[in-house]
């Protein structure tokens, strides 16, 4: 990677022959003299004359090279970091358009909660805010983002660039949701997107959803098996709907509720699973901390090293050449008067 | 500036004098030229100017200059009719969607830095924003990687109500900040077909002309069969006439021939739609047409971009030096002897060693 060199505007190099100009015979810089043979032999003068042309040529060449935009091209350098590979699985189904309970819902009388619902933020907006913060706080992790509703929509493959992920998260809130929530299919697609990648560090699927699906046994088995084979931990940031029960309730009757069933299934996974409430800031902080506490194996990643421009150096060299040329002028006999 | 040059010249001169290798021509005290006078004498003046320009070029900080940039949300119709293969790429037939993606990929490279591009997809009756616009040069790799993911497998439902899709796209552009223009790639195939008596009405919040943009018509003139693609993205034959909703009176038994299972570019419909919401319309014929649409001056934005302007003084310095050393230059004024010396051998630049 070292030693490589390129030009931004290589066509400028076509001007390089201009540097030969000083070597052409000129009838300037001359003095009239009666008879040449009268002049003493002057080796030093000849040498200086040649040097003058050389430096003139160097000055022209240096400017042409500077104009061509010389530099060290942008490179990628393999670095070893300690971050996780996180796939964000963002729910874009219609249920995400609904509102969550306002942040102070715990203090409200349960009988009037419904009337406060309109004060609550939209789930999609909560999801966006939570994710934007999450990504901003984990600058060393590599993120990928997938929307899902009826089908998974793979938006951004794994990248190190936070700007791209943030743009996708922003898009996740624009417009109303589409279709239903098919967590099973989305989970399988998310697991699949890890498959072609070499294992280079802890892997996490960050599910941001209000849940709400029952998975059939076959899907459950495939998810369980896939997570184990790809060694993926599952974090679920749960957006609790109005009147939704607490996920951790032991009541067997609640199995009928999609999100509870999903949570109970996830708890039986062989791979790590954690659950966080999106409406509680402590939980989100906890989620960020948990990712940090993961056993982060060294993760290979490429860091972009931006292009380095050398044109200033060449301009400086040309300026120096001009100074030297001016110095020469001072020693010259200009005329006979 | 020039005093610093003079100082440098004087210092250099004194070094030369001390080493005794060469001395300035001894003259009478009366006509001894000062350093300043030499530096500013006819010939040297060009060198001094070039030097000044070069120093300016080195010291010049990046300036902010206005430049034309673009800010697009590019929406792809991913409904089934976009799978019709009536484009050609490297001799092989490719689908409308694939060609549109390829063309956008190529055109992306030509957008000036500072431009922003985002992606959206359309099917059913909705346009879904996938990626909010981001700067193209900085995020080129990610934009391309994301573009490569856009295909029919994203289709969350199978209808194709293009008019509503365009309305939703304009709505999304408004919601995403209202600074972007919309480029909408579609063949104009409405499924189910529009009831002429009851066409879809423009949403009240979509104000014509508020969001600029272009509908880019894709597809050929000959109606072709639409490949049928299942949920897993596999091709399973073609859509048949009785499998799709036909227009009134155009059922298989009716007098008019059914044609909604065939797809060609419905240009008239798209032109009308574009006019209705204040968009432009162009047809995708090749990569160049898409590139042109993406750099349509009507969609350009003036943006202040930090630009390195050092080339300007550097180029001026180069011209001065070239002029200074040019052999075809007119002889120096004020030295008439030169003009007369047609046959005298050149004695250029000879310090007088005595």
State whether B268 and B318 are in the same domain.
Answer: no
- Does any CB of chain A come closer than 8 Å to the CB of residue B13? yes
Chain B residue with minimum CA distance to A39 = B352
Q: Answer yes or no: do B75 and B49 share one domain.
A: no
Q: Is residue B34 part of a domain?
A: yes
Q: Which domains does chain A have, with CATH numbers?
A: 6-74+306-330 (no CATH), 78-302 (3.40.50.410)
Q: Which two structure tokens, joined as six digits, stand for B182?
A: 């919309």
Contact A25 B327 (CB under 8 A): yes
Q: Do B318 and A171 touch (CB under 8 A)?
A: no
Residue B345 belongs to some domain of the structure: no
Between residues B81 and A305, which one has the greater pLDDT? Answer: B81
Does B28 lie in the same domain as B140?
A: no
Q: Does residue A18 sit at the B interface (CB-CB below 8 Å)?
A: yes
Assign A198 a pLDDT band (cuts: 50, 70, 90). Answer: confident
Least-confidence region, from B26-35, B132-141, B186-195, B243-252:
B26-35
B-chain CB neighbours of A331 within 8 Å are 13, 16, 22-24, 351
Contact A204, A86 (CB under 8 A): yes
The encoded tokens of residue B158 equal 């199978």
pLDDT digits (tens, 9 = 90+) for B228-261: 888 777 888 888 887 888 876 655 555 567 778 8
**Which segments of A22-122 does DSSP mark as H helices, in order?**
43-67, 113-116
pLDDT tens digits for range A15-49:
999 998 888 876 555 566 666 666 667 777 778 88
- Residues 50-69 (B) with a CB less than 8 A from some CB of A: 50-51, 54-55, 57-58
Average of per-residue pLDDT across B15-41: 49
| pLDDT band of A166, cuts 50, 70, 90 | very high
Contact A164 B48 (CB under 8 A): no
- Is residue B267 situated within a structural domain? yes
Domain that holds residue B86: 66-306
- DSSP sequence for B299-317: G-EEEEEEE--THHHHHHH
Chain A contact for B340, CB < 8 A?
yes
pLDDT range class, residue B329, cuts 50, 70, 90: low
Q: Inform me whether the pLDDT recorded for B328 exceeds 90.
A: no
Asked whether residue B245 is domain-assigned, the answer is yes
User: CB under 8 Å to A44, separation ≥6 — which residues?
Assistant: B21, B22, B351, B353
Are B288 and B224 found together in one domain?
yes
Answer whether residue B32 is part of any domain. yes
Taking the C-alpha atoms of residue B42 and residue B335, their distance in angstroms, rounded to an integer, is: 10
The pLDDT mean for chain B works out to 80
- Determine the residue among B124, B159, B317, B348 to mutate to test chain A binding: the one whose Cβ has the most chain A Cβ atoms within 10 Å: B348
Assign residue B128 the CATH number of its domain. Answer: 3.40.50.410
What does the pLDDT average to over A226-255? 83
| Chain A residue numbers touching B321 (CB-CB < 8 A) | 56, 59-60, 63, 322
User: How many domains in chain B?
Assistant: 2
Distance in angstroms (rounded) separating the CA atoms of residues B263 and B241: 12
For residue B351, is it within any domain? no
Q: Can you give the pLDDT at residue B280?
A: 94
Q: Which of residues 102-161 of A touch B (CB under 8 A)?
A: 147, 149-151, 153-157, 159, 161
Give B21→chain A minimum CA distance, Å: 9
> Mean pLDDT across chain A, nearest whole number?
82
Domain assignment present for B354: no
The answer on B278 and B191 residing in a single domain is yes
On the question of pLDDT at B138 being above 80, the answer is: yes
Nearest to A312, CA basis, from B313, B323, B325, B48: B313
For residue B259, list its beta bridge partners. Answer: none
Nearest-CB residue to A29 (from B35, B134, B348) = B348
Q: What is the ipTM of this complex?
A: 0.71
Mark whether B25 and B99 lie in a shared domain: no
Picking from B120, B164, B321 by the largest number of A CB atoms within 10 A of its own CB, the best residue to mutate is B321
Beta-strand pair A85-91/A142-148? parallel
B174 and B74 share one domain: yes
Asked if B330 is an interface residue toward chain A (Cβ–Cβ < 8 A), one would say no
Say whether A67 and B318 touch across the interface (CB within 8 A): yes
Phi-psi region of A204 (alpha: psi -120 to 50; beta: other; left: phi over 0): beta
B132/A337 touch (CB, cutoff 8 Å), yes or no: no
**Which of B41, B231, B349 is facing A29, going by the closest CB pair?**
B349
Contacts A180 to B, Cβ<8 Å: none
| B258 lies in the same domain as B201 | yes
Total Cβ atoms within 10 A of residue B293? 24
Q: Name the least confident of B69-83, B141-155, B223-237, B244-258.
A: B244-258
Whether A198 and A301 have beta carbons less than 8 Å apart is answered as no
Does residue B130 sit in the same domain as residue B53? no
- In whole angstroms, give the CA distance from residue A302 to residue A305: 9
pLDDT tens, residue by residue, B31-46: 555 666 666 666 678 8
As a whole number of angstroms, the distance between CA B167 and CA B184 comes to 11
Residue B319 and residue B252 share a domain: no
**B14 and B122 both lie in a single domain:** no
**Does A188 reach chain B within 8 Å, measured CB to CB?**
no
Q: B166 and B118, same structural domain?
A: yes
Indicate whether B268 belongs to any domain.
Answer: yes
B64 forms beta bridges with: B306
């Amino acid at each position: 990677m070292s030693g490589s060199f390129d030009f931004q505007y290589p066509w400028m190099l076509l001007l390089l022959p201009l540097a030969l100009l000083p070597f052409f015979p000129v009838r300037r810089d001359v003095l009239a003299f009666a008879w040449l043979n009268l002049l003493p032999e002057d080796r030093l003068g000849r040498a200086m004359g040649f040097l003058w042309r050389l430096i003139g040529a160097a000055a022209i060449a240096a400017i042409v090279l500077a104009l061509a935009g010389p530099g060290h091209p942008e490179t990628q350098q393999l670095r070893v970091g300690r971050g996780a590979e996180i796939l964000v699985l963002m729910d874009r189904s219609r249920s995400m358009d609904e509102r969550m309970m306002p942040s102070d819902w715990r203090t409200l009388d349960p009988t009037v909660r419904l009337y406060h619902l309109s004060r609550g933020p939209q789930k999609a907006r909560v999801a966006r805010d939570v994710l934007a913060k999450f990504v901003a706080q984990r600058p060393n992790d590599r993120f990928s983002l997938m929307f899902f509703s009826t089908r998974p929509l793979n938006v951004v493959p794994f990248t190190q660039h936070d700007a791209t992920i943030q743009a996708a998260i922003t898009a996740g809130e624009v417009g109303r949701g589409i279709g239903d929530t098919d967590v099973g299919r989305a989970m399988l697609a998310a697991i699949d997107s890890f498959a072609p990648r070499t294992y280079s560090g802890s892997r996490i699927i960050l599910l941001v959803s209000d849940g709400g699906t029952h998975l059939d046994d076959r899907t459950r088995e495939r998810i369980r098996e896939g997570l184990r084979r790809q060694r993926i931990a599952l974090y679920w940031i749960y957006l609790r709907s109005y009147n939704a029960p607490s996920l951790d309730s032991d009541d067997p009757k609640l199995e009928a509720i999609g999100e509870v069933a999903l949570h109970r299934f996830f708890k039986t996974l062989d791979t790590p699973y954690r659950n966080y409430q999106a409406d509680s800031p402590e939980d989100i902080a906890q989620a960020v901390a948990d990712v940090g506490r993961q056993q982060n194996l060294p993760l290979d990643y490429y860091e972009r090293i931006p292009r380095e421009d050398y044109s200033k150096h060449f301009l400086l060299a040309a300026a120096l050449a001009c100074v030297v040329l001016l110095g020469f002028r001072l020693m010259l006999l200009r005329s006979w008067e | 500036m020039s005093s610093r040059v003079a100082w440098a010249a004087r210092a250099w001169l004194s070094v030369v004098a001390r080493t005794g290798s060469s001395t300035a021509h001894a003259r009478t005290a009366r006509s001894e030229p000062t350093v300043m006078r030499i530096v500013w004498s006819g010939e040297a003046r060009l060198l001094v100017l070039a030097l000044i320009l070069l120093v300016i070029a080195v010291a010049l900080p990046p300036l902010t200059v206005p430049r034309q940039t673009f800010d697009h949300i590019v929406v792809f119709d991913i409904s089934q009719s976009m799978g019709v293969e009536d484009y050609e790429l490297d001799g092989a037939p490719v689908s409308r969607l694939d060609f549109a993606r390829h063309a956008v990929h190529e055109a992306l490279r030509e957008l000036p830095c500072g431009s922003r591009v985002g992606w959206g997809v359309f099917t059913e009756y909705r346009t879904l924003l996938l990626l909010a616009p981001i700067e193209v040069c900085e995020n080129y790799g990610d934009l391309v990687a994301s573009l490569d993911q856009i295909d029919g497998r994203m289709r969350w439902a199978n209808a194709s109500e293009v008019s509503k899709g365009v309305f939703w796209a304009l709505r999304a552009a408004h919601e995403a900040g209202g600074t972007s223009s919309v480029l909408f790639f579609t063949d104009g195939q409405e499924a189910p077909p529009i009831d002429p008596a009851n066409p879809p009405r423009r949403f009240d919040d979509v104000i014509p002309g508020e969001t600029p943009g272009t509908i880019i018509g894709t597809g050929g003139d000959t109606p072709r069969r639409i490949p049928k693609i299942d949920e897993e993205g596999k091709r399973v034959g073609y859509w048949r006439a009785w499998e799709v909703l036909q227009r009134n009176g155009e059922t298989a038994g009716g007098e008019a021939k059914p044609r909604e299972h065939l797809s060609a570019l419905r240009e008239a419909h798209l032109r009308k739609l574009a006019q209705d919401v204040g968009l432009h319309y162009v047809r995708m014929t090749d990569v160049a047409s898409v590139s042109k649409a993406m750099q349509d001056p009507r969609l350009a934005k003036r943006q202040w971009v930090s630009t390195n302007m050092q080339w300007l003084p550097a180029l001026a310095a180069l011209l001065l030096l070239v002029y200074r050393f040019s052999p075809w230059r007119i002889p120096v004024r004020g030295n008439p002897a030169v003009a007369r010396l047609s046959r005298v051998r050149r004695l250029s630049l000879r310090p007088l060693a005595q």
